[in-house]
Amino acid sequence: MMSLPAVVSGQLAPERLDRGRFTAVFYPGDALLARSLLARAMSNDTFPGLPRPRERVLIAIAPDHKRFVEWAGPQAPEWGAALAFPESHRILMQGHTAATDAGNPLEVIRHELAHLALHEYLGDLPPRWFDEGYAGYAAGEWDRDDFLTANVALALHGMPTLDEVDDDFSGGTTRATEAYALAYRAVAELAALDPERGLSLFFADWKQTGSLDQGVRRAFGMTLAGFEHRWRDSTRRRYGGLALFGDLGLAALICLLVIAPFYLARRKHDRERMAELEAADRAEEEAPPPDPQGMM
């Protein structure tokens, strides 16, 4: 559990800002960011398929990366730009000193708030793949598909199962990035099964039965295993083929760049050789006939 010290060495005491059900705790250098995050949270406080959240939320903004790691604790992943703590209704974010790969903080806060909203309604029922996939879906992280489009592994090695996606979140930065993208795609595809109600009926059935499989059966008329097969097949065909096509196209371009100079040089050599032969033929045709007397 993260705890916020009263004073960070070399900085003033933290400040607090309240807006609706949200409270931000930050240091003076992140005052503008804190106001922007709270405005974003207040402007859109509903999440796809879920009742409007009611729990109060604390948003703690770390003044630097070192402090972010200390507050996050030893279980924080190396790629984390922010973390949600559903059991205490808290969110930890990097402040204005965050690296560029920390992402857009206004999108990040939406992602983390979606985690809290999901757990407020379903508790600990969601597995990791659904938890992360739903947060990405609620935050509108459509660029996750870009990663799948460039992922040749889907075409060459096949799709992982949902359980394997869960494991990949702990497999390092590259595997985690793939896991986030695949989880997003799974939740987006699940929501698309009911164009009118999206995930709302599914969430109600899941909460009532306490079973993900029963929720999928009741809401969408298929088993969880059936959905998983559908998701794996459609994702592999849609994105694995694109990646492989793009990779083959790149390979063809590289081959063209390597072979083209040799081809052009050969063509030049052939033209020069042909010109020499034609010149020799013309010289032979234009040469005076031999003197008959000189041949006697």
pTM, rounded to two decimals: 0.76
Task: Give the whole-angstrom CA distance, residue 134 versus residue 125.
Answer: 13
pLDDT band at 177; cut points 50, 70, 90? confident
Supply the mean pLDDT for the chain.
Answer: 81
- Of the ranges 70-79, 150-159, 235-244, 269-278, which one carries the lowest mean pLDDT score? 150-159
Higher pLDDT, 243 or 119: 119
pLDDT by residue (tens digit) across 179-204?
Answer: 898 999 999 999 999 999 999 999 99
> Where in the chain are the domains?
1-124, 126-279
Question: Is a pLDDT exceeding 90 seen at residue 261?
Answer: no
Provide the pairing of β-strand 57-62 with 90-94: parallel
CATH hierarchy code of domain 1-124: 3.40.30.160
Secondary structure letter of residue 42 according to DSSP: H
CB neighbourhood size of 277 (10 A):
10
- Of the ranges 35-39, 272-276, 286-290, which one carries the lowest mean pLDDT score? 286-290
Task: Give the whole-angstrom CA distance, residue 243 versus residue 268.
Answer: 37
Q: What pLDDT, on the 0 to 100 scale, is given for residue 265? A: 59
Cβ(87)–Cβ(15) under 8 Å? no
pLDDT by residue (tens digit) across 69-106?
Answer: 899 887 676 667 899 999 999 999 999 888 877 789 99
| pLDDT mean over 153-173 | 78
Percentage of residues in the chain with pLDDT exceeding 70? 70
